[in-house]
Amino acid sequence: MSSHPAISPPKASKALTAYRPFWAKRFGPAPFLPMSRAEMDQLGWDSCDIIIVTGDAYVDHPSFGMAVIGRTLEAQGFRVGIIAQPDWQSAEPFKALGKPNLFFGVAAGNMDSMINRYTADRKIRSDDAYTPGGEAGKRPDRATLVYTQRCKEAWNDVPVVIGGIEASLRRIAHYDYWSDKVRRSVLVDAKADLLVYGNAERAIVEIAHRIAQKKPVESITDIRGTAFMRRTNDPTAEGWFELDSTSVDTPGRIDELISPYQTIEETAADKGASCATGQAGADSDGAKPITIHRSGKLALPPRDKTVIRLPAYEQVKSDSVLYAHANRVLHLETNPGNARALVQRHGERDLWINPPPIPLSTAEMDHVFDLPYARSPHPSYADEQGGHDGATKIPAWEMIRFSVNIMRGCFGGCTFCSITEHEGRIIQSRSEDSVIREIEEIRDKVKGFTGVISDLGGPTANMYRIGCKSPEIEAACRKPSCVYPGICQNLHTDHGPLIHMYRRARALKGIKKILIGSGLRYDLAIESPEYIKELVTHHVGGYLKIAPEHTEGGPLSKMMKPGIGTYDKFKKLFEQASEEAGKKQYLIPYFIAAHPGTADEDMMNLAVWLKKNGFRADQVQTFYPSPMATATAMYHSNKNPLKKVTRDSETVDIVRGERRRRLHKAFLRYHDPNNWPLLREALKTMGHEELIGNGKHHLIPTFQPMTDGAYESARRKNSTPTGVKTSVAKPLAKARAAASSASTTPNSVAKPRQGQLLTQHTGLPPRETGARAPGKQAGKATATKPRRPR
């Protein structure tokens, strides 16, 4: 029996900077990519080669997708126009820049349009952070579908390539929380020509050059990071070895995720088979396809010509166990080093999904981020004073205005998060010099800069230049997380490059302070006490956000998050470093309510922990089933795709229904009198009446002040309730004081000093109440809107 050779890291066939520029490069870069014919005339353009349609307002900044893709294509010599937030009621706004010579690029924006518009309770949001003035309603639901249809209506002979996070996370048959059903791939519903998923620079550049060479879009079927439609038995699919997904992961007998750190013999023994010396461990994944050669020898098919057939859309739509199975197989095939193509039938046609894109090299990352961004919203959004700080301010731009993105990707693998499915788990880092150049550009060119950089980060603050010690192991690995259930032995955790960057950045002339606004992966941080000391001493603006997400093992195992003991270790190091620095600083933990696998008792225990530690959550994060996430598959199927899935396998406790979801949120906000009636009823039902009372060891009191049933967070009105009559304001204040002074157990930690109970949103002491003033450093929090920690 022969076998594959050991898997080696895939090599990109062509660097982003290796293409011969398109002829229009002679026009040079535009100050802003044009949004009108008048701007095109000023640039001397008679037409656009590519037009990008986006659901976000156009901000020429590397944190906005349309700017990154537009500038990347511009660097290749293409003339790129932008149609931002068009009126979708007719096709006319899609003709504003004329007919594109090559193709339309369509994206819903930096967020899925449904998540952007609806809360986790399916209520319509009152604002949109990606729109001038925060105005809501400037993009349609399922914007990718609507925009694509209007582009086709405007110019039916122009190819449409869809991308962005909405298309990326809906590239396959997926559970849709808002319609509570499994929907087809967005490519099928949109009737687009191509779908680009993940970070799209490499794919979109190749697509643009091929179309510019007059190659039909139907022939573009071999680019990584793309999906397309094929007729069943299409002759263009000849030469592919089709492997039914049940050979990889069979409902009824599903293989465990293979550890690449086992020896070949151990892996084979686990499978009850023998294996010749030198066989690659990554191919012992339960798949045993064979072909018979004329010589009589058996051989595994080459991975780059193997396609895995998933259960058809019609099957996963009606069978939630098969849906969980398909989701599991999809996640097994996300490593660009060993992923195979996937195919899923939709009606009479097949959806083909090519393997994920090859991550950008450091030089390519530098190229993308060093492009001539204006780092400002388009001038058409300017207010009466010609600026962007008045009524037309774009909240999302304000948040990242003085921040710098230093890396991409995340190997945390949190099941409720879609970063890995979109950006991948391999960290792509910029060079230190590139980051320093951007900081200097912000200092010298960005209006309103006061010397404070609001963030040096990315999806996670402290994964910069961290990765697998062995490229060969990284290319073969199928583990969904490098840090769960513990730090992988092959993951280097050296924070040295990040520490050096921090020191160099804050030494720059004109830089007063560099804050870290991205969420910190604290289980990684405790591997480097030097990093914690550096961070706490110089880069914490009064508080630091981290995300334990829960305290109980049940939900944590479904999230793939470390136990609360890891948080305690980090807290000890954080407080020690703060004390040594002579600063009074705060840790602000974030938690999720109603996550799959969370029992009512789990939320009760979390509430007890919160009160014991003196935390009051002003803003509560409820589990939001985003498309394609593993936790969403749990939510839909009641099964756990992280383990064997059968008809009779483990059933995951799913928090459904408004009442139970409200109860879980109420436990997180145990201190709000509006929640006390619901909590009392629940605690009695659960047999925990001992937590009801007016003593320090109780969770909620027996008395009930008059309330209006509503709550307004500290973010809006400094925690002051709205609609409360003057006659009941004092009893309500007393009730809050009683709740805030309580501690849950006799052996609990010392309660926080009066006036210093922490809020989740700011992490700072509440408004002045006459209590002793908090430490000086506590008031130095950045005004930047916080990002959710990883």
pLDDT band at 232, cuts 50/70/90? confident
pLDDT band at 144, cuts 50/70/90? very high
HEC-encoded secondary structure of 704-754: CCCCCCCCCCHHHHCCCCCCCCHHHHHHHHHHHHHHHCCCCCCCCCCCCCC
So what's the pLDDT on residue 462? Answer: 95
**Cβ contact 297:2 at 8 Å:** yes
Q: CA-CA distance, 746 to 585, in Å (whole number)?
A: 26
Residue 228: C-alpha distances to residues 14, 83, 170, 198 (Å): 22, 24, 13, 15
So what's the pLDDT on residue 296? Answer: 43
Segment 478-501 mean pLDDT: 94
Q: How far does Cα 45 stand from its chain's mean position? A: 37
HEC-encoded secondary structure of 425-476: CCCEECCHHHHHHHHHHHHHHCCCCCCEECEEECCCCCCCCCCECCHHHHHH
**Cβ contact 754:741 at 8 Å:** yes
Selected residue with higher pLDDT from 569 and 286? 569
Does 280 score more than 90 pLDDT?
no
- Number of Cβ within 10 Å of residue 149's Cβ equals 19
User: Sign of the C-alpha dihedral, residues 784, 526, 360, 303?
Assistant: negative
So what's the pLDDT on residue 623? Answer: 96
Q: CA-CA distance, 663 to 742, in Å (whole number)?
A: 21
User: H-helix or E-strand containing 190?
Assistant: helix 186-190
- Per DSSP bridges, beta strands 226-231 and 194-196 are antiparallel
Does 708 score more than 70 pLDDT?
no
Residue 216: C-alpha distances to residues 67, 157, 159 (Å): 26, 11, 9
Residue 171: C-alpha distances to residues 180, 228, 374 (Å): 18, 10, 32
Does 8 score more than 70 pLDDT?
no
List, for residues 714-741, the tens digit of each pLDDT value.
Answer: 334 333 343 433 333 344 344 444 444 4
So what's the pLDDT on residue 239? Answer: 85
List, for residues 604-643, the tens digit of each pLDDT value.
Answer: 999 999 999 989 887 788 999 999 999 999 999 999 999 8
So what's the pLDDT on residue 303? Answer: 83
List, for residues 108-124, the tens digit of each pLDDT value.
Answer: 999 999 999 999 999 99
So what's the pLDDT on residue 250? Answer: 65
- Per DSSP bridges, beta strands 455-457 and 403-405 are parallel
Does 368 score more than 70 pLDDT?
yes
Angle between helix 432-445 and 362-369 (nearest 10): 10
List, for residues 259-276, the tens digit of each pLDDT value.
Answer: 433 333 444 444 444 333
Does 532 score more than 90 pLDDT?
yes
Selected residue with higher pLDDT from 668 and 541? 668
List, for residues 499-531, the tens digit of each pLDDT value.
Answer: 999 999 999 999 999 999 998 999 999 999 999
Mark 50-65 as b/e (b = at least 16 C-beta within 10 Å): bbbbbbbbbbbbbbbb
Segment 649-657 mean pLDDT: 91
So what's the pLDDT on residue 279? Answer: 36
So what's the pLDDT on residue 235? Answer: 82
So what's the pLDDT on residue 624? Answer: 95
Q: What percent of the chain has pLDDT over 90?
A: 71
Residue 600: C-alpha distances to residues 3, 593, 664, 676 (Å): 50, 10, 7, 15
Does 679 score more than 80 pLDDT?
yes
Q: CA-CA distance, 621 to 717, in Å (whole number)?
A: 19
**Contacts for 573-577: CB closer than 8 Å, 24+ residues apart:** 573/525, 573/526, 573/529, 573/532, 574/532, 574/536, 574/544, 577/532, 577/533, 577/535, 577/536, 577/537
So what's the pLDDT on residue 6? Answer: 46
**Cβ contact 70:52 at 8 Å:** yes
* pTM above threshold 0.75: yes
First to last CA, the chain: 45
Segment 78-84 mean pLDDT: 98
Mark 378-402 as b/e (b = at least 16 C-beta within 10 Å): beebbeeeeebeeebbbebbbbbbb
Tokens of 406: 């230093």
So what's the pLDDT on residue 511? Answer: 97
User: Sign of the C-alpha dihedral, residues 478, 484, 487, 493?
Assistant: positive
List, for residues 17-29, the tens digit of each pLDDT value.
Answer: 999 999 999 999 9
Give the residues across from 228 on adjacent strands: 352
Q: CA-CA distance, 566 to 7, in Å (whole number)?
A: 34
Does 393 score more than 60 pLDDT?
yes
User: How does the average pLDDT of the chain come out, rounded?
Assistant: 85
Coil/strand/helix, residue 230: strand
**Cβ contact 490:468 at 8 Å:** yes
CA-nearest of 778, 692, 688 to 738 is 692
List, for residues 281-297, the tens digit of each pLDDT value.
Answer: 333 343 334 343 343 44
Q: CA-CA distance, 663 to 604, in Å (whole number)?
A: 10
Q: How far does Cα 8 stand from its chain's mean position? A: 28
So what's the pLDDT on residue 753? Answer: 47
So what's the pLDDT on residue 77? Answer: 98
Selected residue with higher pLDDT from 753 and 715? 753
Beta-sheet strands, E only, within 108-213: 160-163, 174-176, 181-183, 194-196
List, for residues 174-200, the tens digit of each pLDDT value.
Answer: 999 999 999 999 999 999 999 999 999
**Cβ contact 631:415 at 8 Å:** yes
Q: Percent helix, strand, coil in the chain (nearest 5)?
A: 35, 15, 50
Coil/strand/helix, residue 11: coil
Q: CA-CA distance, 343 to 418, in Å (whole number)?
A: 21
Segment 84-99 mean pLDDT: 97
So what's the pLDDT on residue 697? Answer: 87
- Per DSSP bridges, beta strands 758-759 and 615-616 are parallel
Least reliable range by pLDDT among 489-503, 549-563, 616-630: 616-630
Give the residues across from 183 on adjacent strands: 174
Residue 352: C-alpha distances to residues 355, 366, 751 (Å): 10, 31, 57
pLDDT band at 790, cuts 50/70/90? low
